[in-house]
């Protein structure tokens, strides 16, 4: 076969072309409602309006629905196809219209990576892993924001295992995450009433994404304009609200193994032994708090409740020779159990609230064997150092020392 030297024709840039032509880097004739390039390739043109397109922006692959020849070959100039998929309506929400979408081959690869690899990293419990493998994609097929969230997390995971594709995977992860958040907003109320499983999956996957996003890709508190620690904590607490809203149908339904495992972990957290084991870690902090708040009994009560929960968490996590490897629920239960009053103090950047949060970061370090938690404790501590009054920074020595020691052992 004859070969031709690479090259491209020069042309006047189209400033108002459709998104599909811009991604394919070809000139758009700007014909509306469908440009001729999109008509020729058989894809939905962005000029058709948001009502006809599920907002799943495609990567830099051509949108040809004809061939199923596979991924783009490196340097070949052959582009990957896309497969159009018509989503079903939510069974419990018949008033919603179907969700049309176009999935690129890269998206299908991300789905395959999720079901064969990523799902097994979200828990150490085999039955919970099965739920993440089987139920999460099924829920995503009827609720597109869940599918976008799933693909976003899978893309972050794939970026870690294939350095040569890191940039494209991270870009795809951010695209799917942004799409998921945008499309979930109008669905939150009806899903809270009728499909708690979908809302729980979205909330959980988005929490994982906020932990897993690499710090070099921007501030890791990706969901909030200010990057406020209390907002980040409240977002995780939103999962608790979803569970309460879903009631028995959620807890005993298709996601039941997740909640059964959570009940087992909660029993360990509530045991008297956990509290007794954790008291030595907060003793000095408790004395300082009582001194600083000696004339404010209401404030002491708020901090004491947070310290008691922290002692239970540290008692389970900061101890040698544990009987089992920790789960994220062992650590994040503290965020679910602290009071709104404490989180308000954290929002105000009250020194004692920040110091208590820093001590919790020492427990976060214990679960960074999970890829999506890696480095989270150090990033949280960096945020704390930036807002804590320097005269209180000596109180960060203990949690920082625990984090550093664990890091040295890992290295």
More confident residue, 51 or 320: 320
**Can you read off the two tokens belonging to residue 46?**
């962005």
Region 358-362 average pLDDT: 95
Q: How far apart, in whole angstroms, are the C-alpha atoms of residue 278 and residue 291?
A: 21
pLDDT tier at 246 (50, 70, 90 boundaries)? confident
> What gap in Å lies between CA 335 and CA 271, rounded to an integer?
18
Secondary structure of the chain in the HEC alphabet? CCCCCCCCCCCCCCCCCCHHHHHHCCCCCCCCCCCHHHHHHCCCCHHHCHHHCCCCCCCCCCCECCCCCCCCCCCCCCCCEEEEEECCCCCCCCCCCCCEEEEEHHHHHHHHHHHHCHHHHCCCCHHHHHHHHHHHHHHHHHCHHHHHHHHHHHHHHHHHHCHHHHHHHHHHHHHHHHHHHHHHHHHHHHHHHHCHHHHHHHHHHHHHHHHHCCHHHCCCCCCCCCCCHHHHHHHHHHHHHHHHHHHHHHHCCCCHHHHHHHHHHHHHHHCHHHHHHHHHHHHHHHHHHHHHCCCCHHHHHHHHHHHHHHHHHHHHHCCCCCCCCCCHHHHHHHHHHCCHHHHHHHHCCCHHHHHHHHHHHHHHHHHCCCHHHCCHHHHHHHHHHHHCCHHHHHHHHHHHHHHHHHHHHHC
Domain hosting residue 191, numbered range:
92-254
> Does one domain contain both 187 and 276?
no
- For the record, the structure tokens of 126 come out as 């085999």
Q: Which of 191, 222, 254 is the last residue of a domain?
A: 254
Domain edge (last residue) among 224, 254, 284: 254
Average pLDDT over the chain reads 78
Confidence at residue 151, expressed as pLDDT on a 0 to 100 scale: 97
Each residue of 303-318: b (16+ CB within 10 Å) or e? Answer: beebbbbbbbbbbbbb
Structure tokens at 198: 């979908």
Same domain, 275 and 224: no
Average pLDDT for 159-164: 88
Question: Would you say residue 294 lies in a domain?
Answer: yes
| Judgement on whether residues 160 and 277 belong to the same structural domain of the protein | no
Residue 297 clears pLDDT 90, i.e. is over it: yes
Q: Which residues pair with 83 in a beta bridge?
A: 103
Q: Is 173 domain-assigned? A: yes
Task: Give the model's confidence band at 214: pLDDT under 50 very low, under 70 low, under 90 confident, else very high.
Answer: confident
Q: Using CA atoms, how far apart are residues 150 and 133, in angstroms rounded to an integer?
A: 11
Residue 166 lies in a domain: yes
Per-residue pLDDT reduced to its tens digit, 96-146? 444 444 568 899 999 999 999 999 999 988 999 999 999 999 999 999 999
**Cβ atoms of 280 and 329 closer than 8 Å:** no
272: its two tokens: 């008297």
Same domain membership, residue 151 and residue 218: yes
Is 72 within the bounds of a domain?
no
Section 220-237 average pLDDT: 64
Asked if the structure places residue 307 within a domain, the reply is: yes
Q: How many domains does the chain have?
A: 2
Same domain, 225 and 368: no
Q: How many angstroms separate the Cα of 396 from the Cα of each of 218, 249, 355, 402? A: 25, 43, 7, 10
Same domain, 315 and 168: no
> What region does 84 belong to: left with phi over 0, alpha with psi -120 to 50, or beta?
beta
Q: Does pLDDT of 393 surpass 80?
A: yes
Q: Is residue 230 part of a domain?
A: yes
Mean pLDDT throughout 136-159? 95
Instruction: Point out the least confidently predicted range of 54-68, 195-209, 320-334.
Output: 54-68
Would you say residue 9 has pLDDT above 70?
no
- Let me know whether 245 and 279 are in one domain: no
Taking residues 60-77, what's their average pLDDT?
A: 34
- Spell out the residues 6+ positions from residue 129 whose beta carbon is closer than 8 angstroms to its own: 119, 120, 122, 123
47 pLDDT higher than 90: no
Q: Residue 155 corresponds to which tokens in the numbers above?
A: 């893309």
């Amino acid at each position: 076969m004859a070969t031709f030297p690479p090259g491209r024709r020069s042309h006047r840039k189209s400033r108002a072309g459709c998104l599909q032509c811009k991604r394919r880097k070809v000139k758009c004739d700007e014909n509306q409602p469908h440009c001729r390039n999109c008509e020729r390739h058989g894809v939905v043109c962005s000029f058709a309006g948001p009502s006809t397109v599920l907002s799943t922006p495609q990567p830099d692959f051509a949108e040809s629905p004809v061939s199923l020849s596979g991924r783009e070959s490196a340097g070949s100039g052959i582009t990957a196809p896309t497969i159009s998929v018509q989503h079903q309506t939510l069974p419990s929400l018949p008033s919603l219209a179907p969700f049309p979408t176009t999935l690129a081959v890269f998206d299908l690869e991300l789905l395959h990576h999720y079901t064969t690899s990523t799902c097994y990293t979200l828990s150490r419990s085999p039955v919970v892993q099965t739920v993440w493998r089987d139920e999460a994609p099924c829920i995503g097929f009827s609720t597109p924001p869940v599918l976008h969230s799933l693909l976003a997390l899978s893309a972050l995971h794939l970026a870690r295992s294939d350095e040569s594709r890191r940039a494209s995977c991270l870009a795809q992860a951010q695209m799917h995450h942004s799409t998921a958040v945008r499309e979930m907003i109008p669905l939150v109320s009806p899903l809270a009433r009728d499909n708690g499983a979908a809302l729980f999956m979205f909330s959980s996957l988005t929490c994982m994404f906020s932990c897993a996003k690499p710090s070099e890709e921007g501030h890791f508190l990706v969901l909030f304009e200010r990057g406020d620690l209390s907002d980040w904590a409240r977002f995780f607490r939103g999962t608790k609200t979803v569970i309460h809203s879903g009631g028995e149908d959620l807890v005993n339904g298709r996601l039941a193994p997740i909640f059964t495992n959570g009940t087992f972990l909660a029993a360990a957290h509530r045991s008297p032994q956990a509290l007794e084991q954790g008291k030595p870690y907060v003793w000095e902090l408790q004395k300082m708090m009582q001194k600083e708040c000696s004339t404010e009994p209401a404030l002491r009560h708020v901090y004491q409740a947070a310290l008691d929960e922290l002692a239970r968490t540290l008692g389970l996590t900061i101890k040698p020779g544990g009987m089992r490897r920790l789960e994220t629920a062992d650590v994040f239960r503290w965020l679910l159990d602290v009071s709104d009053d404490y989180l308000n103090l954290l929002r105000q950047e009250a020194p004692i609230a920040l110091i208590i949060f820093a001590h919790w970061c020492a427990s976060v370090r214990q679960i960074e064997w999970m890829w999506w938690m890696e480095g989270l404790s150090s990033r949280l501590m960096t945020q704390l150092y930036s807002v804590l009054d320097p005269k209180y920074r000596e109180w960060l020595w203990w949690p920082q020392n625990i984090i550093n020691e664990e890091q040295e052992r890992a290295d």
